[in-house]
Amino acid sequence: MARKVLVLGEVRDGSLRNVSFEAVAAGKAVSEGGEVVGVLIGESVNTLAQELIQFGADRVVTVENEKVASYTSDGFSQSLLAVLEAEKAEGLILGHTALGKDLAPKLAAKLQAGLVSDATAIEVAGGNVVFTRPIYSGKAFEKKIFTDSFIFATVRPNNIGVLEKDESRTGNVSSISVDVKDLRTVIKEVVRKATEGVDLSEAKVVVAGGRGVKSEDGFEPLKELASVLGGAVGASRGACDAEYCDYSLQIGQTGKVVTPDLYIACGISGAIQHLAGMSNSKVIVAINKDPEANIFKVADYGIVGDLFEVVPMLTEEFKKLKVNA
Amino acid sequence: MNIYVLLKRTFDTEEKITISGGKINEDGAEFIINPYDEYAVEEAIQVRDAHGGEVTVITVGGEDAEKQLRTALAMGADKAVLVNIEDDVENGDQFTTSKIISEYLKDKNADLIIGGNVAIDGGSGQVAPRVAELLNIPYVTTITKLEIDGTNVKIVRDVEGDSEVIETTLPLLVTAQQGLNEPRYPSLPGIMKAKKKPLDELELDDLDLEEDDVAAKTKTIEIFLPAQKEAGRILNGDLSDQVKELVQLLHTEAKVV
Ligand SMILES: Cc1cc2nc3c(=O)[nH]c(=O)nc-3n(C[C@H](O)[C@H](O)[C@H](O)COP(=O)(O)OP(=O)(O)OC[C@H]3O[C@@H](n4cnc5c(N)ncnc54)[C@H](O)[C@@H]3O)c2cc1C
Ligand SMILES: Cc1cc2nc3c(=O)[nH]c(=O)nc-3n(C[C@H](O)[C@H](O)[C@H](O)COP(=O)(O)OP(=O)(O)OC[C@H]3O[C@@H](n4cnc5c(N)ncnc54)[C@H](O)[C@@H]3O)c2cc1C
């Protein structure tokens, strides 16, 4: 059944996040041939509309307002609800990012709707839109359908392929004005701690360190490797507990769940709680000096050795590869 | 201060997951307080100790969850409430759970509600923000620091590794992120005392709810395990040759770089 679906384009540092293009692709699947309408909310977001259209949105509605220059759940829910009402849409897709995780449940409660969070695949089967999502932190998966007509999901970064970008695609861009008011939470300050801009949950390559990294300085070679590969640095809880790095880098059952194309585990033993956060990565490399380490059980490729020797050598080899490419 | 903690009972993180008869196999599994909810209990106790008041822990679930509620009481919570839905609700989702919790809380004049940012089993992270919206109070998710001064609240929140400093006011709901605090272990005297602390059990009827009011909006149609990975390759030979081989394999065989 064709339906109109809204997709929120998430803006970060002035550009659209890749997960938003993945959300457009998800919206397309959910629409079953209906219209996919991109939504942009912010102080000045109009210029990004075309890119959403090139990635598959049929048209875009913007809400531009200085009160939504930064994300707050109140400001963004008022804006998005206004668009939903004006468009009478029957579906809504967001990225399962910090913003999507914070905003979507509030909207779902307001709309008295169901919400499938963290979807990794979408298909239409037996007359239903069927969502696949991880449970038990990726130790299992479930397939979910809606028992109500409104379809609402957040999609996990790096799992749903984007539609091919078509620079010749055009579509209407309109704006609606929303009286954003009564913001009950105020952002006073943002302290940037995340390393060099590559977001862990969206990174295509993750280089992760464990207790084997031995110190804060021990993370330096890992950072170099990550930067050569355009990836992000992550960590085990062992490394976080030992204060070699910030908890925000923790990957696992009580940290971030990541599914990059390439995960390089350095000095990580492979505890079940760590595996839960990374074992669905496409390719896993393990570097560990203990040949019996559990991490080798999930690794596609393993090197038994001292990470302080292996990691710098790897960095050099990848540099050569990049030069030759 | 009137403080409520939303607590979910969940599988121990050590547990391997198996499926039998289309369901997650619970036989012999160990259960724990959802790790993020442990931070929530700890924070609630600290806020109470600093500002006075009472901590009530609430769970929607079955009889079995009494054990985790007793643990929270042993940590230092004052009261526990179990909304037992075992006999009333066949299929629930996050709509169901949040509706039940908010119906319970709506006339309790809670100043502060603390939940976990996500349950490590269901993993949606929906329940707490949904409850805040249904109670029409503000919320802040994934917090790592909480400071209360009268009704003014200052919070540090984790946003994908960056920190946001947020100001807001009570009444308020927050969800705990790792790093918020170091949850205490129940002490022996704590465990003894917990046995005498009130643990109330309610059913949907007591909240004037019918099964239809909380009927799930989504339905699970299948549960499956991820495909087993084939055994990987441990490289051999001289370390520098291994490194060269690995880069080649990643480039030409796995095609990820
Ligand atoms: C409720 C709960 C939740 C948890 N959640 C998480 C989670 O989300 N994420 C997580 O990661 N953990 C989690 N844990 C912790 C988990 O159980 C492990 O303790 C942790 O993952 C171990 O970290 P590690 O592998 O870095 O350390 P260790 O287990 O100490 O492993 C260090 C490894 O480094 C290797 N090594 C040492 N030196 C070198 C060297 N020079 N070169 C190469 N290799 C070297 C060693 O051989 C060893 O295998 C959780 C635990 C509990 C109880
Ligand atoms: C009878 C019944 C059967 C169910 N069967 C299924 C099923 O087969 N499959 C399925 O996926 N779900 C089922 N559910 C729903 C299940 O309870 C959800 O997992 C629940 O709504 C919590 O969602 P979540 O795990 O995503 O938690 P999240 O939204 O990730 O939890 C975040 C936080 O909300 C709070 N919270 C969450 N749940 C509770 C709770 N129960 N009590 C108190 N606080 C809580 C905690 O603070 C937690 O840290 C059923 C529910 C009922 C009532």
Per-residue model confidence as pLDDT tens digits over A64-92:
999 999 999 999 999 999 999 999 999 99
pLDDT of residue B104: 98
Residue ranges, chain B, pLDDT below 70: none
What span, in angstroms and rounded, lies between the C-alpha atoms of B93 and B107? 23
CATH says A5-175 is which class? alpha beta
Q: Which ligand is nearest to the CA of B35?
A: 1
What span, in angstroms and rounded, lies between the C-alpha atoms of A76 and A69? 10
Q: Which domains does chain B have, with CATH numbers?
A: 2-214 (3.40.50.620), 227-257 (no CATH)
- Would you call A187 and B164 a contact, using CB atoms and an 8 Å cutoff? yes
**pLDDT reading at A147 higher than 90:** yes
| Closest approach of A195 to chain B, Cα-based (Å) | 8
A269 alpha carbon – ligand 1 mean position (Å): 5
CATH says A200-324 is which class? alpha beta
Average pLDDT over residues A5-19: 95
Average pLDDT over residues A10-21: 95
pLDDT, averaged across chain A: 95
Average pLDDT over residues A157-183: 96
Average pLDDT over residues A246-267: 93
What span, in angstroms and rounded, lies between the C-alpha atoms of B8 and A176? 41
Mutational pocket test of ligand 1: of A236, A248, A292, the residue with most ligand atoms within 8 Å of the beta carbon = A236
Residue A255 pLDDT level (bands cut at 50, 70, 90): confident
Q: Which atom of ligand 1 is nearest to the CA of A269?
A: 49
Q: Which atom of ligand 1 is nearest to the CA of B35?
A: 1
Q: State which H helix or E strand residue A6 sits in.
A: strand A5-9
Q: What's the predicted TM-score (pTM) here?
A: 0.93
Chain B residues whose beta carbon lies within 8 Å of the beta carbon of residue A102: 129, 141-142
What span, in angstroms and rounded, lies between the C-alpha atoms of A206 and A263? 5
Residue A197 pLDDT level (bands cut at 50, 70, 90): low
Out of B120, B124, B257, whose CB is closest to A229? Answer: B257
Mutational pocket test of ligand 2: of B11, B36, B97, B121, the residue with most ligand atoms within 8 Å of the beta carbon = B97
Q: State which H helix or E strand residue A129 sits in.
A: strand A128-135
Report the b/e string of A95-134 with b at 16+ CB within 10 A.
bbbbbbbbbbbbbbbbbebbbbbbbbbbeeeeebbbbbbb
Q: Is A50 annotated as a binding residue?
A: no
B247 alpha carbon – ligand 2 mean position (Å): 44
What span, in angstroms and rounded, lies between the C-alpha atoms of A60 and A11? 14
Q: Is A302 in the pocket of ligand 1 (CB under 6 A)?
A: no
| Closest approach of A107 to chain B, Cα-based (Å) | 8
Q: Is B128 in the pocket of ligand 2 (CB under 6 A)?
A: yes
**pLDDT reading at A196 higher than 60:** no
**pLDDT reading at A195 higher than 70:** no
**pLDDT reading at A198 higher than 80:** no
| B21 three-class SS | coil
Residue nearest to atom 45 of ligand 2 (CA): B8
> Which of A131, A139, A247 best probes binding to B when mutated, by most B CB atoms within 10 angstroms?
A139
pLDDT of residue B227: 85
**pLDDT reading at A193 higher than 80:** no
Cβ-Cβ contacts under 8 Å between A and B: the total is 262
- Would you call A106 and B130 a contact, using CB atoms and an 8 Å cutoff? yes
User: In chain A, which residues fall in CATH 3.40.50.620?
Assistant: 5-175
Q: Is A258 in the pocket of ligand 1 (CB under 6 A)?
A: no
pLDDT of residue A138: 87
pLDDT of residue A154: 98
**pLDDT reading at A169 higher than 60:** yes
**pLDDT reading at A54 higher than 80:** yes
| Closest approach of B70 to chain A, Cα-based (Å) | 23
H-state helical runs in A183-236: 220-228
Q: Is A100 annotated as a binding residue?
A: no
What span, in angstroms and rounded, lies between the C-alpha atoms of B171 and B153? 10
Q: Do the bridges between strand B79-84 and strand A5-9 make them parallel or antiparallel, or are there none, so unpaired?
A: unpaired
**pLDDT reading at A267 higher than 80:** yes
**pLDDT reading at A186 higher than 80:** yes
- Closest to A305 measured CA to CA, from B52, B150, B239: B239
User: In chain A, which residues fall in CATH 3.40.50.1220?
Assistant: 200-324
pLDDT of residue A104: 98
What span, in angstroms and rounded, lies between the C-alpha atoms of A206 and A235? 9
Chain A residues whose beta carbon lies within 8 Å of the beta carbon of residue B222: 142-143
- Burial zone of B215 (CB within 10 Å; 0-12 exposed, 13-18 middle, 19+ buried): middle
